[in-house]
Each structure stands twice: as structure tokens, then as C-alpha cells.
Amino acid sequence: MRLSFQHEVLKQNVGKLVLAPLDLTTPNLRIVDSATADGLWLRDLATSLPPSATLIGTDIVESYFPPKEDWPSNVTLSIQSITKPWPSDMNSTFDLVHQRFALPAAGRSGLKAALHGLIGLVKPGGWIQLVEADHSVFTGPAMEELFELVKVVFGAMDVGYAHARELKDLLIEAGMEDVHEDVRDVPLGATNPDAEMARKSAYAYTLGAKGIVQAGKATGCEWSTERLDALEPSVEKELQDAGGVSRAYYVWARKPVR
């Protein structure tokens, strides 16, 4: 529910799922969505693509995948970690490689290798599109506190905090061309002019706060239990009463034809 609401809120904000200038009407497109969770991004995209498209979603948690009978006929979901080498027969075969909100899983030390693996999947002339959150922007004290905890938790897990802002440079450094960046401040709760999106975004990000608090407790963070337990309700109240923003970086780039 959290990820599906978040997906709807992001889609409404940007207006489309693919920002890379790929012609989605081209027959026989091959698209992979890494860290796909329940494959929602891919299944949503499938509704607007020709049936000849091949759509592959990967994740490390098989239980997130919907039952196989619910997969569209051209969608396949399989297990693959971004920290492990991809099957060699997938390399250089995709028109579009997409990944949203998953790069932190590679850790600070594994970031470049994970990016290298994703770029390896793109065929020459094809596109990569990455979407990552930037936790340095907030509008109220509860969201500030939440992002401070994100920093603490990421630090304990050796996960970089600024990767969203670094993506563009990392893709240039990796030899990609036509590198573009679109920075979105997605309105949350009361800030969102659409009543349904206001409700769904507040709900999704309150649940996100709950997850970060649980991670804070699991990683033995030094915050007091009272401070941790106060966070989720204060985020919920702030988003409902005053609203907030969540900054997301959309970065896309093309693999040179050589």
C-alpha cells in the first residue's frame, strides 16, 4: 500500500513514468525495472506499451512479487540483487533500464559497481533512468527530524546520503551521454492540491517514517525510545496539517553507440 500510493503520487507529479526520450511505440522494446518490489511501475507502464514489449522486473524479495497469474503476459519478475553480477545474456540488451529508490541498498562502497551493472544492461543507444530521493530538503520540524534519522540510519548501514545529487556526475563519469536531471519537490499531505493525492502522500510518507523508526531501533541508534516513538505521529500530524515536500531526482542518460 505504501509503495503503490507513493507510485501514484509520483506519477501524478511528473505526469509520466518515462522521462528518457525513448519512443514507447517502438515494437519489441526491452525494458528492465531493477528493485521492482511488486512490479507496479512496470505493470503500469505495460498498459501503454505495444504487446510486443518485453518487460523484466527484478528484486531480491520474491514475496513482493504478485502471483504469477496476475503478471501481464509480457512481464517477467525474477530475483536479482544490484550488488551481484547480472546474467551475461542480459548485458547490452535493454532499450531502457529503470530503477527507483533502491541505490542506497548498494551501500556507499558498492554504489559505483551497482551503477556499472545497471549501465551494462543498456544496449548502445539505449537509456537508463534512475530516480532517487534527496533528504536534504524539508519544510517543517517533523520532516527535518525524520530526515535526520534517515541520515543516522544510513550512516549506521554505510549507505551514502547524497547519492541522488551525485547521480548525474556519476553517469557522466561512467561515460554516458545526453545526461539529464529533473529535480521534483513532490507535495505531500496538505501541500498537495489534489485531495486524494494529499491523503495518499501523507499516508505513504507516514508509513515511511514508521519504517525508518523501526530501522533506527534495529540499528541501535542512540536516539531515546521516546524520541523515536514520537516521530511517526508528529510526521503524520505535520503532513496532514501543514504538508511537506519530498525531493526526488530523476536522472536519465543514453549509452553511446560505439
Ligand X SMILES: C[S@@+](CC[C@H](N)C(=O)[O-])C[C@H]1O[C@@H](n2cnc3c(N)ncnc32)[C@H](O)[C@@H]1O
Residues of this chain that interact with ligand X (CB under 6 A) are 3, 7, 35-37, 41, 59-61, 64, 81-83, 100-102, 105
Report the nearest approach of ligand X to the CB of residue 103 (Å): 9
Local structure of 30: helix, strand or coil: strand
Alpha helices, DSSP H, located in the chain: 2-14, 40-46, 107-121, 141-156, 163-173, 195-218, 225-241
**In 3D, which of 185, 200, 130 has the Cα closest to residue 13?**
185
Separation of CA 145 from chain center: 22
Report the nearest approach of ligand X to the CB of residue 226 (Å): 27
Nearer to ligand X, 11 or 30 (CB): 11
**Number of CB atoms found within 10 A of residue 90's CB:** 18
Report the nearest approach of ligand X to the CB of residue 10 (Å): 8
Report the nearest approach of ligand X to the CB of residue 212 (Å): 11
Nearer to ligand X, 14 or 105 (CB): 105
Nearer to ligand X, 61 or 162 (CB): 61
**In 3D, which of 83, 135, 132, 80 has the Cα closest to residue 109?**
83
Strands of 10-118 (E only): list them: 30-34, 54-59, 75-79, 94-100
Report the nearest approach of ligand X to the CB of residue 57 (Å): 9
